[in-house]
């Protein structure tokens, strides 16, 4: 049996402030660092021989994975960073407070933007400092690949092809992917075959390892390691 461990980064500064983060590169909070270290301890208890490590280009995912590997006493010189695993780009909502936007746009509209399958916010102006074009971490990404806004469907269309090409061939070994709420939601949609209409129900907690078990490349089981902070997977 092989294992694929999906983990959303620990709580970030903008998670704490309830802001739409998207591709903005923000730090982990002290709580987020603790979540990552606890995740490392939970993974350590599995006593697995871990073979491959992936994360996004974003520092909150990079640091989460680094803290996990440090807890596991694994050198992180073989981590693969992929921008395709980045969080969904929230377009014109980027940087705004979610609670304030509920008052402005209505709770249903904000929920639609956050959880729907194919609805994207208005594009973010390219001159905005929060636009990925203006963030140093993404200077090596081809400009025509950098989005102004994304729906979950758009995010799926970059995450899943990357997974199929670069991670799926390794699935008979043990793998960790440290990414984000929406990039992990898209992977779960693909792996669990979740219907478009049901994906809105899937929520991914910060810093809680989701372990997927495979036999002969077939998914047979999945569970969160921290049961107290687990969310409904809809399946299993």
Q: What integer pLDDT is reported at residue 200 of this predicted model?
A: 86
Mean pLDDT, the chain, integer: 94
How many angstroms separate the CA atoms of 211 and 223, rounded? 5
What is the Cα–Cα distance from 25 to 139, expressed in whole angstroms?
13
pTM recorded for the entire structure: 0.95
Is 9 a catalytic site residue? Answer: yes
- pLDDT average, residue stretch 135-147: 95
| 111 has catalytic annotation | no
Q: Exactly one of 35, 63, 87, 150 is catalytic; which is it?
A: 87
CA distances from 167 to 10, 24, 136, 163 (A): 22, 25, 26, 5
Burial of 216 (0-12, 13-18, 19+ CB in 10 A): exposed
pLDDT of amino acid 235: 60
Residue 234 has pLDDT above 80, yes or no: no
Q: What is the mean pLDDT of residues 133-160?
A: 96
More confident residue, 197 or 11: 11
User: Is CATH 3.30.70.980 what the domain over 2-89+150-229 is classified as, yes or no?
Assistant: no
pLDDT tier at 161, thresholds 50, 70, 90: very high
Whether the per-residue pLDDT at 217 is higher than 90: the answer is no
Span 66-86, mean pLDDT? Answer: 93
Q: Phi-psi bin for 178: left (phi > 0), alpha (psi -120 to 50), beta?
A: beta
Domain boundaries, the chain: 2-89+150-229
């Amino acid at each position: 049996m092989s294992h694929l461990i999906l983990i959303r980064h620990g709580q970030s500064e903008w998670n704490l402030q309830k802001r739409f983060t998207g591709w903005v590169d923000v730090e982990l909070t002290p709580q987020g660092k603790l979540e990552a270290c606890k995740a490392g301890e939970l993974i350590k208890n599995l006593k697995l021989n871990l073979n491959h490590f992936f994360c996004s280009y974003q520092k909150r995912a990079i640091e989460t994975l680094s803290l996990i590997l440090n807890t596991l006493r694994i050198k992180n010189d073989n981590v693969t960073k992929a921008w395709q695993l980045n969080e969904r780009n929230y377009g014109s909502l980027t940087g705004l407070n979610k609670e304030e936007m509920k008052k402005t746009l209505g709770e249903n509209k904000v929920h639609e933007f956050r959880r729907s399958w194919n609805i994207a916010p208005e594009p973010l102006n390219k001159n905005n400092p929060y636009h990925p074009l203006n963030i140093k971490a993404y200077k090596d990404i081809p400009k025509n690949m950098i989005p102004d806004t994304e729906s979950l469907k758009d995010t799926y269309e970059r995450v899943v092809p990357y997974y199929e090409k670069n991670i799926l061939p390794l699935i008979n070994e043990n793998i960790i992917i440290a990414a984000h709420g929406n990039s992990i939601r898209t992977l779960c949609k693909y792996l669990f075959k979740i219907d478009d209409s049901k994906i809105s129900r899937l929520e991914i907690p910060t810093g809680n390892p989701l372990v997927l078990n495979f036999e002969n490349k077939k998914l047979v089981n999945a569970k969160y390691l921290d049961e107290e902070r687990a969310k409904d997977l809809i399946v299993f």
